[in-house]
Amino acid sequence: MKLFPTPLHGLHYVESSSYRDLRGAFARLFCADDLESLLGQRHIVHINHSHTMKSGAIRGMHYQLHPYSEMKFVRCLKGKVWDVALDLRTGSKTFLQWFGIELTPDNERMMVIPEGFAHGFQTLEPNSELLYLHTAPYMPSHEGGVRYDDPRVSIKWPMSVSDISSRDSQHVLLGDHFMGITA
């Protein structure tokens, strides 16, 4: 596994490589030893899988507040997505900046999203599937969201939106009063 920094401090992506032969392929999707510099003393506490049927659908932008802030490891198992992380950390030099990257099974990339970032994605192909590894349990009382079309952030989604949940479409816009969250 090779780690690559992004322009946003603390946000990385990882490239894996698969081993192919006549039978097919084998790939390591996660290795704590290879990712120790990012994972630190954290542990994976749950793994989620999402399946999104329509191209252009958006899920996100989600985050959890302290003390349930979570690091996420996100990988595309099927299809193609535009994966986005948004820095919400109070005092960060890259506060309210976002980074997006295409994730596919073929490019074998994984986004590593630290605490204090919101996360979301848009499907670029129908029937796209993601695998998420989380370092904190899901806690509904500590979740938050940023609207996908918030003008203060101006995320450039690659396609027009075909589908979004009512919950995600109703996140409150970030006003000038929003000063970030504590990771």
- What is the DSSP annotation of 101-155? EEE-TTTTEEEEE-TTEEEEEEESSSSEEEEEEESS---GGGEEE--TT-TTT--
- pLDDT tens digits for range 24-45: 889 889 999 999 999 999 999 9
- The structure tokens listed for 35 are 């990712």
Reply yes or no on whether the pLDDT at 95 is more than 90.
Answer: yes
Q: Domains, the chain, ranges and CATH?
A: 2-169 (2.60.120.10)
Catalytic residues, which ones?
62, 132
- pLDDT tens digits for range 105-164: 999 999 999 999 999 999 999 999 999 999 999 999 999 999 999 999 999 999 999 999
- pLDDT tens digits for range 43-88: 999 999 999 999 999 999 999 999 999 999 999 999 999 999 999 9
Q: How long a stretch of residues is the chain?
A: 183
| Residue 55, phi then psi, degrees to nearest 5 | -65, 145
pLDDT value for 183: 82
CA 26, CA 68: separation in Å to the nearest integer?
33
Nearest to 8, CA basis, from 131, 106, 134, 93: 93
What's the predicted TM-score (pTM) here? 0.95
